[in-house]
Structure 1
Amino acid sequence: MFKPRPKQQQVLDYIGGKMGVSAVPGSGKTLTLSYLAAQLVASGRLEDDQEVLVVTLVNSAVDNFTGRVGGFIKERGLLPNLGYRVRTLHGLAHDIVRERPALVGLSDDFQIVDEREAGRILQEAAAAWLRANPHAADEFLSPDLDEGKQNWVRRDQWPDLVTNVARNFIRRAKDLEGTPDKIRRRLERLAQSLPLVEMGCAIYADYQRALHYRGAVDFDDLIRLALRALELDRELLERLQYQWPYILEDEAQDSSRLQQEILSLLAGPNDNWVRVGDPNQAIYETFTTADPKYLRAFLREEDVESRELPNSGRSTRSIIALANYLIDWTQSSHPVEAVRDALTPPYIEPTPPGDPQPNPSDDPSQVRVIAQKFTPQEELRAVADSLARWLPEHPDGTVAVLVPRNNRGFEMAGELKKRGLEYIELLRSTRETRETAGALANALNYLADPASSKKLATLYKVWRRKDRDDEEAHKRLAWVARRLSKIRQVEDFIWPRTDQDWLTGLEMDEELSVIHEQLVEFRALVRRWQEATLLPPGQLTLALAQDLFEEPADLAVAHKLAGLLRQMSTRHLDWRLPELVEELATVARNERRFLGLSADDRGFDPQRHKGKVVIATTHKAKGLEWDRVYLMSVNNYNFPSARPHDQFISEKWFVRDHLNLEAETLAQLEAVLTEGDLPVYEYEERDVTQEARQEYAAERLRLLYVGITRARKELIITWNTGRRGDQQPAAPFIALQTFWEEEGVGSRE
């Protein structure tokens, strides 16, 4: 039975109107919001055809909310799954657009392209623009580059930068409700040339044409078109306002302007709208159009009832003290005044006496901000050494290594693998998903080129991949693969004539007779697979999976990958096996996020991985908690403070004057779309880049706060000098380390 804390009860006293709730990490906001939803359903205020609408950020949260609300409703003796609906913001937008697709210019059978297909369309549009504008880089490249370096940048670096700038341009343009035609008309009225906006507009136009050709929209279109449908169709809006008389919004700090406007319209004249979030955990601005300023402004509105959930039983008092000090230091002492509002109260408070979720016992010695200067490799070794000591003594404990970016996570995984330490990756895709994709890609790669002995050898290694776990079997595997790779005519093994069977001529002693049996079996499989190449790609993939995998999770992922290939071959009628193989290879190489069907991909629970190391980006760790947390690489590159000597990932080394081209482009776009009817727009470089530095520094401070508050009992923070050895500890790292030393606790492990 849920027993609310006093501050939670204040939220649960809600009966109507607008309410904003600031919730600290671990304060039970999901539990509180779920209970409030059940309470409203059971209150008798809803008609039979009305629902409480719960809106959240990601699909895994939908499942969590649905289960909790249903449980609370059953406790009241009511039927679950009635009287409420839980949707993501994009899912809600999709529901709205499906009501009246023709109203917003779509056919009834419109499709939604996923991130993968949208990325491919964007790359094609960017590549077309680059071919048409081969000298576009000249205006922006650093004059310090010699001719050879310039040519290399144009070939290998500039295309990626153009694609990334265009991706964010399109996303921001849609959030500002700017179509390519509207942007082009505004540009034509300006006296000043804005080549970055012109580039973005041209690629945007090509991108939208490609979507239109497919009868499709992307996720950003869904939000824009849902808002338009509500604005154009008063009857639709009033019907939905009646259907959802109460709106409860979770993770409100991550809403964009358009998403907020959709919910505001749906709330309607009754304004029964509860927004719960934590502006201190707004860490997605770099990747999306989300901005915590919208929630902060909402909390300040006169007609909004403001509440706080400050109590958290997640962490020890020492970890809470460190997190609260980061807020204090940011507000009073951050070296750049413009960044001082990055973190704001409420401060985290321990749970009150007698609470069902008491804070863990406090041991200040288990919080360590390690000042030691590490190289990147030394830092990896130090963390791995520490884990090797800790894990045997804590077989039932949970532990995570949090890294700023995926690549650092891969390096950490490599270090743990060397030592035989068990680990789980929570990076772009799980290791199991990538390995399944890689196995299928290698199998299809051979079938696309069946005369290649090297690809045949790779296929054999895929088929016998479990032999890698046994030293003797692995030696035999390597021996066979070497010989297969040297076959001159592959058909002499797969489809031999009686007098030319490669296998008969293979010299093996009696001890290797097991290899002969394996090769006979392998040959039979390859023959069957070759005959199956007449099948459509999806069916061929499933046929391979039946022979290559035994685990249900692998077979489930293979089934999903088969669906992906089926989808790709339908969209690209000219594609053959080589192109489809490359699609699988991008998943296997971790170049793209692909959601498999493992528990890790559907929704992560640290408690299911006790005694193993979880490696995650800090972004992916949001919403999770572990007994022990390592925060790595807290230097002034990963966590800059917008000081002159800091370096920024978005300021490319080959661009002149350290310009942030993405920020410059977006600032120009916003001015073009919002500057009224003035024909002259005075644009100055560098001011925008400096503002972008400050915004990024603020977001990274919040990311550091999120990382600290993942820890329950033990926290270790380290830094390194970077690849070139010129990085320094981040300014907040120094502040935290000094604060913790003054608390009387040493920083050595």
Structure 2
Amino acid sequence: MAFRDDQIPIMEYTGGTMAVPAVPGAGKTFIVANLAARIIEERRHKPGKVLVVTYMNSAVNNFKSRISSVLKDKGITTTNDYEVMTIHSLAMKILRDRPDVVGVNEEFGILDDVRKVFYLNEAIEEWRKNNGERIFKSLLTDKAATNYRDKGQDWWKDFFSIADCLISELKLNDISPEKLRKYLEFLSHNSIIRHIYEIYRLYTKRLKTEGYLDYNDLLVLAYKALLRDEKLRDKFQSRYTFIFEDECQDSNLVQCKILALISENSGNLVRVGDLNQSIMGTFTSSDPRFFADFCKDAEEKHVMNMAGRSSKEIIDLANFLVEYARSNHPVQRCREALAEQKLRLVTGLEDFKNPQLEEYGIQAYYLDSWDEVKKDTIKKIIDFKSRCPEKTIGVLVPYNNHVTEIAGDLRRLNIECDELSNTAEKRIRVTKVLGNMLRFLGEPDNIHKFMSLIDVLIDDNSEEKEEILEFISKNKVDSLVRSDINLENTKVSRHLSEKIKEINKVLSVSQSSIDNLILHISTSLNLSTEDKAMAQAVASFVKYEIKENPSLTLEEISEQLLDNKKSVFKHMSDIIYDLQGYEPVPGRVTVATCHKSKGLEWDCVFLLCLTEYNFPALLNARFRSDYYYFKKEYTNPVALGKSEIQKLLGERGYDNPFLEAKIDVLNEKIRLLYVAITRAREYLYLVAHNGNQRFNPDKPSKYFEVLQKFIEGERTRKG
């Protein structure tokens, strides 16, 4: 196996602490898999094992496959010398061993994120009934208060995320509801943490009653168990003699402490990551400074800065962005947002050369409106697909609503696409199907409800869909479900008959509870594994809802399922559909948020919406993290709450937490832009637009202007 010049020092590692900062496209998975396999081949891990820790289940499967493949090539078939798991799986293994050490019943269950939505929603609703509604309204501006009837429900969905984030912060800082209650006297009457306290208490009480731990509990208690029980600590220190951590720029403090403690005896800890790809800190407890500190203190540090993914032109653009940020960013405190590690072309290995183009593959331009951007982008996609059908295409946008709009426009033109966002069409299709099915079952002779059900069951790209719906509108439900249909078009007749058979399977089931009915529907409709998992989550939700309100009707439940804004289903879909990995394929356009693009790559990338609002560079910009409907002193309740927590812990906290939060956002946004640019292999389109100046005042981002000037200079220089 041949390795690049920047990989050779890493492959020579024999033990100790080693930091591996790695640029995008450097091959982190490749090098970790090969180094782990070499340690196993040379039996340096004996008598223990090699442990690889990562953060996504899809990454776990990828690492297992890579390590197994490398070992197989070496003629080694062992599966007992290494383990690959998520940090939460590791914490579970620790806690299952000795739950009594931290006062946990050995029968404890793990509260998955789907059920967590139920419990936290329940706590918020109870708080809301007991004076919480009044408190919430007191946080609103006078203008927002007048719009509460129309907008309030959406604002409460935001509040769920606020409460979730701050409760996580409290847990990871080992502040239980009991501890917090003692601190209340030190908090002002209008403290956001004081307001969250009762929700936190109710949520924790429900977990204890049901015998559950959530994922934050799992990490904190696993760490405490290791600290308190010397035998338990010795056991895990002996079991894992070499530990690798992937994507460690996204680690939180407790995760770092667990791995440091397990590797304490052997001293063998390798952490791999990229500070410039830290894009989760503003909405999670991760912080890139933990990896930055490790890089300073590690016995060895080797930078993987050869990027084989992208062309020289795209590498030059990414490096220019780093140089601009570090030298000329208009906000002084943002000049260290990007680490000084420039991407280099791959040298020395003929088989791993960077893509090379005869033409300059980067363009930067702005248009008058978002509608113009969509039209122009789709036109260019169609042209690129016709010229390069074998190449992959990615469209990257800032937010989920952009994904939905672009994907919808593509589908209307029969262009196949995949959505990677929190509200992707495929994620909500199951709830649409279930909602329409329950709605029809509640009134099975209603032709309009039957038509809506058929509409959602038939793929939007089906050529026969319009003819089928027109035929249904002219008939009665009973004749249709009896298959007394007579269509001249046999293809249409066959398609409709298939859907009616599926509906009849559901109609044939004996009277059952609604949650069991939902499970029966999912079986009758031959759903995919992911969609069945979503249906099971919906069934659990419905069972919970009926327990709380036994008088719920099919119509009322269907209304909840068909409400696209209902946060509980959004949270469910985030969890279920993110379990699987994704690989772009030629012929299908990927439409993704910039956050969801991390870890992926495409031959051609369209990076849209490079506006000031989406990628701010100045402190006086509008910030999406600010809640415009809250009073000035509460515009960013998460930042305010985190600062209050730091003060409770005896740390100084920030005099102006809103300013610090804005700086964090600016830093993260430029890293997000860097991530998006480095997803492209050969072609890259940077597109900005002007917003409607009355309703959506916006203009091209400062970053777009700087990058456009660089691109035009390079294009002129290259002729």
Question: TM-score, structure 2 length as denominator?
Answer: 0.90
Q: Give deviations 1:500-558, integer Å, cap 9, x for gaps.
A: xxx99xxx998599999999998887565334143465664454455544xxxx34345
Residue 220 of structure 1 corresponds to which residue in structure 2? 216
Give the Cα separation in 2 of the matches to 1:244 and 1:682: 37
Of 498, 502, 507 in structure 2, the residue corresponding to residue 530 of structure 1 is: 507
Give the Cα separation in 1 of the matches to 2:28 and 2:274: 10
Of 282, 287, 297 in structure 1, the residue corresponding to residue 278 of structure 2 is: 282
1:455-604, aligned counterparts within 5 Å? 455-462=449-456, 465=458, 469-471=462-464, 474-481=466-473, 483-484=475-476, 529-535=506-512, 540-541=517-518, 543-545=520-522, 547-549=524-526, 554-565=527-538, 567-568=540-541, 574=547, 578=554, 585=562, 591-594=570-573, 602-604=580-582
Task: Answer yes or no: is 1:382 the counterpart of 2:357.
Answer: no
Of 390, 396, 404 in structure 2, the residue corresponding to residue 402 of structure 1 is: 396
Of 692, 704, 709 in structure 2, the residue corresponding to residue 738 of structure 1 is: 709
Task: Answer yes or no: is 1:710 the counterpart of 2:679.
Answer: yes
Give the Cα separation in 1 of the matches to 2:709 and 2:442: 60
1:720-731, aligned counterparts within 5 Å? 720-722=689-691, 724-731=695-702
Residue 268 of structure 1 corresponds to which residue in structure 2? 264
* Structure 2 counterpart of 1:210, one-letter code: R
Distance 1:186 1:137, change over 3 A: same
1:633-644, aligned counterparts within 5 Å? 633-644=609-620
Residue 429 of structure 2 corresponds to which residue in structure 1? 435
Residue 605 of structure 1 corresponds to which residue in structure 2? 583
Q: Is the 8 A contact 2:430 2:531 kept in 1?
A: yes
Q: Is the 8 A contact 1:165 1:665 kept in 2?
A: no
Residue 110 of structure 1 corresponds to which residue in structure 2? 108
Q: Is the 8 A contact 1:664 1:688 kept in 2?
A: yes
Could you tell me how far 1:420 is from its partner in structure 2?
2.6
Q: Is the 8 A contact 1:250 1:277 kept in 2?
A: yes
Could you tell me how far 1:468 is from its partner in structure 2?
6.7
Q: Is the 8 A contact 1:21 1:308 kept in 2?
A: yes
Q: Is the 8 A contact 1:533 1:540 kept in 2?
A: no
Give the Cα separation in 2 of the matches to 1:252 and 1:127: 36
1:292-331, aligned counterparts within 5 Å? 292-301=288-297, 303-331=298-326
Residue 171 of structure 1 corresponds to which residue in structure 2? 168
Of 341, 344, 347 in structure 1, the residue corresponding to residue 342 of structure 2 is: 347
Give the Cα separation in 2 of the matches to 1:650 and 1:722: 19
Q: Is the 8 A contact 2:400 2:423 kept in 1?
A: no
Give the Cα separation in 1 of the matches to 2:490 and 2:69: 60
Could you tell me how far 1:669 is from its partner in structure 2?
2.0
Distance 1:476 1:347, change over 3 A: closer
SS of residue in 2 equivalent to 1:119: helix
Higher gyration radius (CA): 1
Further displaced range: 167-176 or 717-726:
717-726
Residue 648 of structure 1 corresponds to which residue in structure 2? 623
Could you tell me how far 1:398 is from its partner in structure 2?
0.7
Residue 15 of structure 2 corresponds to which residue in structure 1? 16
Of 79, 82, 98 in structure 2, the residue corresponding to residue 81 of structure 1 is: 79
SS of residue in 2 equivalent to 1:628: strand
Distance 1:374 1:106, change over 3 A: farther
Runs (5+) with no aligned partner, structure 2: none
Distance 1:593 1:539, change over 3 A: closer
* Structure 2 counterpart of 1:53, one-letter code: L
Could you tell me how far 1:114 is from its partner in structure 2?
2.1
SS of residue in 1 equivalent to 2:147: helix
Residue 358 of structure 1 corresponds to which residue in structure 2? 353
Distance 1:427 1:466, change over 3 A: closer
Could you tell me how far 1:433 is from its partner in structure 2?
4.8
Further displaced range: 179-188 or 449-458:
449-458
Residue 362 of structure 2 corresponds to which residue in structure 1? 367
Give the Cα separation in 1 of the matches to 2:150 and 2:558: 28
Give the Cα separation in 1 of the matches to 2:609 and 2:717: 20
Distance 1:538 1:652, change over 3 A: closer
Q: Is the 8 A contact 2:137 2:145 kept in 1?
A: no
Give the Cα separation in 2 of the matches to 1:315 and 1:571: 49
Q: Give deviations 1:231-283, integer Å, cap 9, x for gaps.
A: 12111011000000111111110100010001011111332100010000001
Could you tell me how far 1:223 is from its partner in structure 2?
1.1
Give the Cα separation in 1 of the matches to 2:625 and 2:271: 32
Q: Is the 8 A contact 1:320 1:349 kept in 2?
A: yes
Give the Cα separation in 2 of the matches to 1:517 and 1:345: 62
Could you tell me how far 1:446 is from its partner in structure 2?
2.4
Residue 234 of structure 2 corresponds to which residue in structure 1? 238
Could you tell me how far 1:284 is from its partner in structure 2?
1.0
Give the Cα separation in 2 of the matches to 1:741 and 1:193: 56
Could you tell me how far 1:197 is from its partner in structure 2?
1.1
Residue 338 of structure 1 corresponds to which residue in structure 2? 333
Question: TM-score, structure 1 length as denominator?
Answer: 0.87
Q: Is the 8 A contact 1:435 1:588 kept in 2?
A: no
Could you tell me how far 1:428 is from its partner in structure 2?
2.6
Distance 1:193 1:368, change over 3 A: same
Give the Cα separation in 2 of the matches to 1:325 and 1:198: 46
Give the Cα separation in 1 of the matches to 2:528 and 2:235: 44
Residue 499 of structure 1 corresponds to which residue in structure 2? none
Further displaced range: 204-213 or 290-299:
204-213
Task: Answer yes or no: is 1:420 the counterpart of 2:414.
Answer: yes
Further displaced range: 194-203 or 627-636:
194-203
Percent identity (aligned): 29
Could you tell me how far 1:61 is from its partner in structure 2?
0.8
Could you tell me how far 1:112 is from its partner in structure 2?
1.8
Further displaced range: 533-542 or 394-403:
533-542
* Structure 2 counterpart of 1:469, one-letter code: S
Give the Cα separation in 1 of the matches to 2:486 and 2:237: 80
Q: Give deviations 1:42-89, integer Å, cap 9, x for gaps.
A: 2222335x2101011211111111111111222222223120000111
Further displaced range: 123-132 or 474-483:
474-483
Q: Is the 8 A contact 1:369 1:737 kept in 2?
A: yes
Could you tell me how far 1:407 is from its partner in structure 2?
0.8
Q: Give deviations 1:315-362, integer Å, cap 9, x for gaps.
A: 111100100011111111111111111101211000014342101114
Distance 1:77 1:688, change over 3 A: same
Residue 56 of structure 1 corresponds to which residue in structure 2? 54
Could you tell me how far 1:172 is from its partner in structure 2?
0.8
Distance 1:443 1:533, change over 3 A: farther
Further displaced range: 572-581 or 413-422:
572-581
SS of residue in 1 equivalent to 2:606: strand
SS of residue in 2 equivalent to 1:240: helix
* Structure 1 counterpart of 2:116, one-letter code: A
Residue 690 of structure 1 corresponds to which residue in structure 2? 659
Distance 1:160 1:520, change over 3 A: closer
Q: Is the 8 A contact 1:587 1:593 kept in 2?
A: no
Distance 1:191 1:643, change over 3 A: closer
Distance 1:570 1:520, change over 3 A: closer
Give the Cα separation in 2 of the matches to 1:42 and 1:206: 52
Task: Answer yes or no: is 1:660 the counterpart of 2:636.
Answer: yes
Could you tell me how far 1:222 is from its partner in structure 2?
1.3
Residue 624 of structure 1 corresponds to which residue in structure 2? 600
Could you tell me how far 1:602 is from its partner in structure 2?
1.7
* Structure 2 counterpart of 1:603, one-letter code: G
Further displaced range: 432-441 or 16-25:
432-441
Q: Is the 8 A contact 2:114 2:537 kept in 1?
A: no
Give the Cα separation in 1 of the matches to 2:204 and 2:669: 33
Residue 184 of structure 2 corresponds to which residue in structure 1? 187
Give the Cα separation in 2 of the matches to 1:656 and 1:26: 44
Could you tell me how far 1:565 is from its partner in structure 2?
4.8
Residue 93 of structure 1 corresponds to which residue in structure 2? 91
Could you tell me how far 1:437 is from its partner in structure 2?
4.3
Give the Cα separation in 2 of the matches to 1:30 and 1:468: 37
Q: Is the 8 A contact 2:54 2:86 kept in 1?
A: yes
* Structure 1 counterpart of 2:22, one-letter code: A
SS of residue in 2 equivalent to 1:135: helix
SS of residue in 2 equivalent to 1:620: coil
